[in-house]
């Protein structure tokens, strides 16, 4: 059961478990998504990428900040279920051309090199098949000096790992941060933050080229 839940967390599908996981993601990720957007310091004319956008909570928050004529938001997710949900949520912005969503994975995302100012994501890096390859794919599309923000709740990840929902050591922030450093990111650091009474962690990384 735990392995199936872990699989659905990484790649939700249309099923009872997938529906339950979607409900969980909306509740559990809402705070992390909004804080990832806030900490990204998005400017009105930025081009922004969300990796693993899920049902579109973070996309919705980020799109409200891109008020300039050049502001652009891109989202990628390799779950068709999540892609469809987010597309429905963001239909107005997609129609206006401010938001583009791709049903794809990191390695094949059709994003132009050196085009992204800010990247944010939460609760997805430990599902990447290869951390360094995933980090390199993100680094490739970022502008020099671009910022990436990752939000997580370490205690929740630790508990999930103890229940075998997450396996291996990719969930550990230090493993992820090492992959970032070896992929061309600098100033990689993790900070302890709090939203009201809820503690969480934020990993910051700057693309150098």
- Ordered DSSP codes for 131-155: HHHHHHHHHHHEEEEEEEEEEE-HH
Check residue 26 and give its pLDDT.
52
Q: Which residues, other chains included, contact 161 with Cβ-Cβ below 8 Å and sequence gap of 6+?
A: 167, 171
Report which secondary-structure segment, H or E, holds 118: strand 116-122
- Phi, psi for residue 118 in degrees, rounded to 5: -135, 140
Write down the H helix ranges in the chain: 2-10, 16-39, 57-63, 80-89, 91-96, 131-141, 154-162, 173-181
Instruction: Name the nearest CA neighbour of 109 among 134, 92, 85.
Output: 134
The answer to whether 142 touches 207, Cβ cutoff 8 Å, is yes
Check residue 7 and give its pLDDT.
39
Instruction: Name the nearest CA neighbour of 206 among 19, 41, 12.
Output: 41
**What does pLDDT average to in each consecutive run of 10 residues of the chain (209 residues)?**
38 41 57 96 98 94 97 96 95 97 95 98 91 97 98 90 86 97 98 94 97
**Cα(49)–Cα(45) distance, integer angstroms:** 13
Instruction: Name the nearest CA neighbour of 82 among 63, 56, 108.
Output: 56
Check residue 123 and give its pLDDT.
83
């Amino acid at each position: 059961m735990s392995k199936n839940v872990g699989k659905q967390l990484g790649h939700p599908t249309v099923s009872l478990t997938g529906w339950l996981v979607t409900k969980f993601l909306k509740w559990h990720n809402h705070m992390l998504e909004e804080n990832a957007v806030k900490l990204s310091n998005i400017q009105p004319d930025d081009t922004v990428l969300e990796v693993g956008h899920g049902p579109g909570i973070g996309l919705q928050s980020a799109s409200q900040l891109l008020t300039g004529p050049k502001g652009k938001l891109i989202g990628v997710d390799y779950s068709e279920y999540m892609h469809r949900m987010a597309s429905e949520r963001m239909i107005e912005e997609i129609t206006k051309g401010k938001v583009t969503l791709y049903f794809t994975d990191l390695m094949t995302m059709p994003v132009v090199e050196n085009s992204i100012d800010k990247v944010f994501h939460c609760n997805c890096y430990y599902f990447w098949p290869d951390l360094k390859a995933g980090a390199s794919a993100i680094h490739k599309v970022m502008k020099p000096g671009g910022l990436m923000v990752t939000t997580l709740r370490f205690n929740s990840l630790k508990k999930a790992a103890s229940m075998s929902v997450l396996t291996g050591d990719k969930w550990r922030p230090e493993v992820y941060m090492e992959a970032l450093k070896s992929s061309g990111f600098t100033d990689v650091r993790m900070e302890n933050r709090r939203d009201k009474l809820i503690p969480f962690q934020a990993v910051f990384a700057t693309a150098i080229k």
